[in-house]
Structure 1
Amino acid sequence: MNAITPPHLKWPAGTDHTAVPYSIFNSREVYDLEQKKIHNGPTWNYLSTEAELPEKGSFKSTYIGDTPVVVTRGQDNEIYAWVNRCAHRGAEICRERHGKSEDGAYTCVYHQWAFDAKGDLRGVPFQRGLGGKGGMPKDFAKDQHSLRKVRVVNHLGVIFGTFSDETPDIETYMGEDVAYHFKRILKGPIEVIGHTRQYIAGNWKFYSENTKDPYHASLLHLFHPTFGIYRASLGGGTIVNNDVHSVLWVENSKEDESKLSDVKSDNTRTYQEGTYQLADPSLLAGAKEFDDDTTTVIFSLFPSLVVHQIQNTLAFRQILPKNENEFELVWTFFGYADDTEEMRNFRLKQLNLVGPAGLISMEDGESTELCQKAIVRDGNYTNVLEMGGVGTGTDDHFVTEGAIRSLWKGYRKMMDV
């Protein structure tokens, strides 16, 4: 084990990826190491959509891990990003979430040091002093005091950032299958139609596990099976690339009758045919918009992004760790620039399915908090990840935790444990 590795990261001997120590979910030491090796390491982190930076001078404040970052569109129409920390005394420079700099300058309110869209220092008040007194040293060079730059890539209208020169190109980072599904959803120019934000009192990795877990989908989210959006007997499965990235996909048109029979006889609440009806059935009205029969996709790009297609609702979910016990989840809902009015109305109505109070997704935040509360003093215990066996990787069914086991396999490589 690496000499600087916290003891909380020690996996039980012989358990491989099927037993994760709970201590890694509430240790500040582990959290700080994650910020260094994962978020500040060779990973691509979701920053923004290009649609949120529509004009020269547009900007958005966000984070890579818990490091504040600003994404800008420069006067040259290129996209840049830099750490939101003044090179002078470390103050936050940009204090708005979105906006436009009319003159292309970003000025720190503390001492009014000014930077351009690239993060280069352009102005220092009283640099030459006043009346021959004070000022910066004669050899002070503004080009030596730029903001900390972020390497960015604009992939299909989505902006990703990394602090590492060793991070591979974005499609190699994703892996072939995952990259295909990203292209499938980002099939054309997008239009942002709304945002929501929520703070969740749980460790960010609990949510990462959740997005790779088809086992819970028909058990926790009863809206799914009650109204026919998802059952474990439907067609689909999970795809894993590079251990930590995954796609969960569902085809409602393909259902295995033998599996459905098992679902009906399993004495769970996952099958409630005809028991309940929606007062407003138009909530689930929609239209087919892809060339395939896939009706649900949960796309997870570690460490910070989840993209979903659920019926006609599309969204980016950005996972932003705040500390070892809390993270923020930022939802960016979108459609396509060429959507008809009818399709946009479908998307707007189906926003009720997801988000902080969504008819489907609100349970995910609650389950994360339930886990965090229960492990507060039990860090020496482990979870049990043996559904579907003990292997990692892709599965052609939903009664599995293979993608979660893959996540921990990749996590351990990144953390060097």
Structure 2
Amino acid sequence: MTAFPDVKSLLEADRADGSIYSNPDVYEMEMDRIFTHNWIWVAHRSDIPESGDFITTFVGSHPVIVSRDRKGQVHVMLNRCRHRAATVCEQRHGKTASFVCPYHGWAYGLDGALRGVPHQDGYTGQLDKAKLPLVSLRVEEYNGLIFATFDKDIMSLDAWLGKAKPWIDLFMKQGAYWPVKTMGEHKFTFPGNWKIQLENTTDAYHFPIVHKSFLDSVDKETEDTLTFLGGEGYVEDLGHGHSVMVMIPDLVDLDENLEAPIPQRFEELAEELGKDHSPEEVRKIIRAVGGSGFNLNLFPNLACSMAFFRVLRPLSVSETEIRHIAIGMDGGPEAANQARLRLHEHFQGPMGFGTPDDAEAWDRVQRGSLAGRDIPVLLNRGIGHEAERENGNLYSDVSAETGMRAAYRQWLVAMTAEENAE
């Protein structure tokens, strides 16, 4: 059994040891304790809308296939042939009736069942296909978000998401009158630990500094909307490591404030939509195009970030893959979806203003954390005026590090779960 380090000494209520970003033993422990014993987001319902649809992705370091079988049931299976361990699917996405290993031709159904073995008589009756399906993970779904876990005894997804569920529901209102759908992604890696990015999604403090070039690129009305430090926004701990950072309170519920003036940058779009939709419908669609006013962090790997999904995947202790997935209205006006894509490209895209600046900051944190010893990473912003709501949730102002502290509390719970069970 692997001897893992004592992580309790690495984290305090308001600070963390810098080695949490660079210690390979801590990283291996995270892969074991966090990415195999928590609910990990793997797909959105729209990625596999019909029977036979599939995508390939990862749960931690494990390659998996997410498929929808002929009965409509979703499966998440290890992408590993039960014979000699070859992957049985290399396509990113597609439609199929089965998965066939290219090495020896073992064939598996959409549900992972082993259907066929070439020249099976060579096993002289010693092979039972029923006992050799693709290894399946536990799968559950909430409002289109599909999660999987290796842990068969973990709490239900409904309980795990808990107080984050109402925020997921609010985020999905970006479909306006239609369901939300994914519309492509921008994928990249950065030379840093996965937790640096986890922190970033709940960090409003950096926005006017890191993203000054973005703010300089937008119109004055948009700039004023995104100048939210010192405003009425807040960060709230939702339990189980989840948190929400509300930056623009007026855009929390997209079904409200429909009488608000249409922002100048959407006036031309509103005129085009008005040819086929009523004024009220136009206002609702326009609000959906602009996105929600909050970032929702779902521990450990998904952020519902204003108007897109941000998914992280640890590659090593000092390298992380990020996917920025654009979302739109499934069946909605093409002009509205095109507008959402243009907004996504402006900030999240590879030539956008936001992603390159964020990635530079993450890289610097990784490199800087190697300088010196016994110098803590501070997580104390806003802790002095953190308060508790009636439901027990901790919250503080929008620039507070409440969300980071929430994530690290859950990190410690997961990392010490076996010790606490003894």
Normalised by the size of structure 2, how large is the TM-score?
0.81
What is the total number of aligned residue pairs between the two structures? 373
CA distance in 2 between counterparts of 1:378 and 1:146 reads 50
Distance 1:93 1:379, change over 3 A: farther
Superposition deviation, residue 315 in structure 1: 1.4
Superposition deviation, residue 334 in structure 1: 1.0
Superposition deviation, residue 252 in structure 1: 6.2
Does the CA-based 8 Å contact 1:21-1:380 persist in structure 2? yes
Letter in 1 for 2:295: I
Q: Does 1:360 align with 2:354?
A: yes
What per-residue deviation string (whole Å, max 9, x for no partner) do you get for residues 101-156 of structure 1? 1xx2101111111111111111111110xxxxxx1142321111111111112221
Which residue is 1:23 aligned to? 19
Letter in 2 for 1:395: Y
CA distance in 1 between counterparts of 2:374 and 2:3 reads 19
Which residue is 1:195 aligned to? 185
Does the CA-based 8 Å contact 1:45-1:304 persist in structure 2? yes
Letter in 2 for 1:78: Q
Superposition deviation, residue 208 in structure 1: 0.5
CA distance in 2 between counterparts of 1:238 and 1:364 reads 20
Superposition deviation, residue 332 in structure 1: 1.6
Normalised by the size of structure 1, how large is the TM-score?
0.82
Q: Secondary structure at the match of 2:232?
A: strand
CA distance in 2 between counterparts of 1:387 and 1:343 reads 38
Distance 1:383 1:283, change over 3 A: farther
Does the CA-based 8 Å contact 2:161-2:240 persist in structure 1? no
- Residue 147 of structure 1: which of 119, 130, 134 is its match? 134
What per-residue deviation string (whole Å, max 9, x for no partner) do you get for residues 280-329 of structure 1? 966998865569x99521111111101122xxxx2111111111111111
CA distance in 2 between counterparts of 1:185 and 1:282 reads 20
Q: Does 1:220 align with 2:210?
A: yes
Which residue is 1:275 aligned to? none
Does the CA-based 8 Å contact 1:57-1:72 persist in structure 2? yes
CA distance in 1 between counterparts of 2:394 and 2:238 reads 8
Does the CA-based 8 Å contact 1:31-1:323 persist in structure 2? yes
**Aligned CA-pair RMSD:** 2.8
Distance 1:93 1:294, change over 3 A: closer
Distance 1:244 1:283, change over 3 A: farther
What per-residue deviation string (whole Å, max 9, x for no partner) do you get for residues 79-119 of structure 1? 11101111111111111101111xx2101111111111111
Does the CA-based 8 Å contact 1:23-1:378 persist in structure 2? no
Which residue is 1:400 aligned to? 400
- Residue 56 of structure 1: which of 51, 58, 62 is its match? 51
CA distance in 1 between counterparts of 2:340 and 2:75 reads 31
Unaligned runs of 5+ residues in structure 1 are: 129-134, 255-279
Which residue is 1:271 aligned to? none
CA distance in 2 between counterparts of 1:171 and 1:210 reads 26
Which residue is 2:378 aligned to? 384
Distance 1:379 1:137, change over 3 A: farther
Letter in 1 for 2:104: H
Letter in 1 for 2:109: D
Structure (1/2) with the larger helix percentage: 2
Which residue is 2:220 aligned to? none
Letter in 1 for 2:186: T
Distance 1:6 1:388, change over 3 A: same
CA distance in 1 between counterparts of 2:131 and 2:202 reads 44
Q: Does 1:114 align with 2:107?
A: yes
Letter in 2 for 1:32: E
- Residue 100 of structure 1: which of 95, 101, 104 is its match? 95
Which residue is 1:11 aligned to? 9
Which residue is 1:83 aligned to? 78
Does the CA-based 8 Å contact 1:283-1:350 persist in structure 2? no
Letter in 1 for 2:144: G
Over the matched positions of the two proteins, sequence identity in percent amounts to 26
Letter in 1 for 2:172: L
Superposition deviation, residue 339 in structure 1: 2.4
- Residue 334 of structure 1: which of 324, 327, 332 is its match? 327
Superposition deviation, residue 182 in structure 1: 0.2
Does the CA-based 8 Å contact 2:214-2:347 persist in structure 1? no
Does the CA-based 8 Å contact 1:74-1:80 persist in structure 2? yes
Does the CA-based 8 Å contact 1:17-1:406 persist in structure 2? no
- Residue 138 of structure 1: which of 125, 128, 132 is its match? 125
Unaligned runs of 5+ residues in structure 2 are: 217-222, 252-263, 271-282, 388-392
Which residue is 2:198 aligned to? 208
CA distance in 1 between counterparts of 2:242 and 2:18 reads 22
Distance 1:368 1:127, change over 3 A: same
Superposition deviation, residue 17 in structure 1: 2.3
Superposition deviation, residue 340 in structure 1: 2.3
CA distance in 1 between counterparts of 2:265 and 2:83 reads 58
CA distance in 1 between counterparts of 2:229 and 2:52 reads 48
Q: Secondary structure at the match of 1:364?
A: helix
What per-residue deviation string (whole Å, max 9, x for no partner) do you get for residues 175-225 of structure 1? 22x210101122452222221111111110110011122222222222565
CA distance in 2 between counterparts of 1:283 and 1:200 reads 37
Superposition deviation, residue 72 in structure 1: 0.5
CA distance in 2 between counterparts of 1:324 and 1:5 reads 15
What per-residue deviation string (whole Å, max 9, x for no partner) do you get for residues 230-254 of structure 1? 3202222112112410111122659
